[in-house]
Amino acid sequence: MSNNQLSCPTHLSAPTELLPWLNAEGSLTAMLEVKAGQPLRVERSFEGYRSLSLAQKRQLGVRGAMLNRPMLAWVREAQLYGNDEQPWVEAQSIFPLPSLKGRARRLQQLKGTPIGYVLFKRSRTLPNQRFIQHTGAGWQRQTRYDWYGRTLLISETFLASFLK
């Protein structure tokens, strides 16, 4: 299992207390639930099919002529709440349609279930590649996972309310 971490130069200026969260291996869901002292609450803002951008296709490892072809994915966008009225994390899960075969089809039926419950049910870590960047909303980690031979992209942005 390899974790090839790629980050922009601004990664060095991430708040020290956020570094363990940005670099955490395994289930972020489990770590957030320990911090909250209770199960996470997931509020979905979007769930459905969406065309992938060129940047998303690159992050998913798409190469060559396939980059220029339209590609659909099942996308879920949600806010994760710990023990606070304000969301701690904005999350986006991208499941390319070719990855939604076999047992991976259940990823379209998550509803309010944290993705970590499914991804890390049988394994504490998964092969991945991580990208860390600062966005207008906060520090973000984007992780491309290899889950039973299927490629998934999970983005988690830590909001200001998380560090309070």
Tally of residues, the chain: 164
Q: Which helix (H) or strand (E) holds 157?
A: strand 150-158
Which pLDDT tens digit goes with each residue over 61-103?
Answer: 999 999 999 999 999 999 999 999 999 999 999 999 988 888 7
End-to-end CA distance of the chain: 33
pTM above 0.75, yes or no: yes
Which pLDDT tens digit goes with each residue over 116-148?
Answer: 888 888 777 777 889 999 999 999 999 998 888
DSSP single-letter state for residue 40:
P
